[in-house]
Amino acid sequence: MIKVPTPFAVGDVNLYLVGDTLIDTGPRTPEALKVLDGLNLDSIVNVVITHGHVDHHGLAYYLKEKTDCTVFVHKNDLLTVTDYENELDKKSQTYADFLKKSGLSEKLVLHFKEYYHELRTYGERCPAEPLKEKVMTEQGAMQVIHTPGHTGGSCCFVMGDVLYAGDTLLPTISTNPSIHAVFDETCGLKAYQQSLRTLSQIRVDTVFPGHGAVIKDHIARIHTILKEHEQRRLTVLDSLQETPQSLAEVTKVVFGNIPASEVLLALAECYDYLKILERERIVCIYEEKGTILARVL
């Protein structure tokens, strides 16, 4: 496990060297570069990216230029790596529009835009190939498990009794399953829960996550996460019992006051819970004066 600092609240990102293959790269910051430059990475042939978030792929181009390695990422996250800046710009406006509709103040929306613009500095576009069913390393074949939810192209890798989980399974942090579901229905809470169930069927002794400590009992951790999801679903429903609420008001009940860097994650997750409750015909989501509201049926 190679711990690389990030400028994000999640803390260090974990990289893994499996023979001639590096899993994830860290963000493009001086602090992260210092860690990578202190390693002997000249023999790297492959870089595999667990998912298209910049704390995991930001230094992919640097490593490709340094080692002439091949970079791999799932096809659903490919553009996030190969056309990073343009993809970031496109998503920025989509997210800003969503935040406005949620009922956030203009000040918070502006703070989010400023934060999101900073993300451009943490990565750069990099040529990459789509992952296939296996990644061949000098230590053997790693099986690729597509686990959408956190992003549409999130993947885990299995080799022997070890699972490299990226952000799909973390030891203490609640992985946000829904941010991309704002504009991509192929991921989100429902897909993430199915991915967790898929991982629960895989028998491994050790899970190496994208952040935090090693997980020894991944099945117990999965059960805990699914219970947390159900509790949040109930909290969302309870918040609507007396009067209709805006998405921002529901989110404040569930998560409390949140900083601009985390506000999109929290709002998107609560919106996903509301959509699930709407599909169950328990609540109704509607817009009034440009604001997303929900009420109990």
Where residue 235 falls among pLDDT bands split at 50, 70, 90? very high
Which is more confidently placed, 174 or 44? Answer: 44
Give the helix, strand, coil percentages of the chain, each rounded to 5: 45, 20, 35
Residues of the chain with pLDDT > 90, as a percent, come to: 75
Can you tell me the mean pLDDT for 259-280?
88
How many angstroms separate the Cα of 165 from the Cα of each of 40, 170, 216, 228, 238? 24, 8, 12, 19, 33
User: What Rg value do the Cα atoms of the chain yield, rounded?
Assistant: 19
Spatial strand order of the sheet with 283-288 comes to 245-246, 291-296, 283-288
**DSSP per-residue letters across 104-116:** --HHHHHHHHHHH
Which is more confidently placed, 116 or 48? Answer: 48
pTM, entire model: 0.92
Supply the mean pLDDT for the chain. Answer: 92
How many angstroms separate the Cα of 242 from the Cα of each of 230, 231, 276? 21, 19, 20
Is the per-residue pLDDT at 116 higher than 90?
no
- What is residue 261's predicted lDDT score, i.e. its pLDDT? 76
- What is residue 124's predicted lDDT score, i.e. its pLDDT? 96
Can you tell me the mean pLDDT for 28-51?
94
Domains belonging to the chain, first-starting first, are 2-86+120-217 (3.60.15.10)
Where residue 258 falls among pLDDT bands split at 50, 70, 90? confident
Of 124, 125, 142, the residue nearest 133 (C-alpha): 142
The pairing of strands 291-296 and 245-246 is: antiparallel
Alpha helices in the chain (DSSP H): 30-37, 54-57, 60-67, 78-82, 84-102, 106-118, 189-200, 218-238, 247-255, 260-279
How buried is 150 (Cβ within 10 angstroms: 0-12 exposed, 13-18 middle, 19+ buried)? buried
Triad 208, 190, 157: Cα angle to 5°: 25
pLDDT tens digits for 220-231? Answer: 999 999 999 999
SS3 91: helix
- What is residue 253's predicted lDDT score, i.e. its pLDDT? 94
How far apart CA 295 and CA 93 sit, in angstroms, is: 27
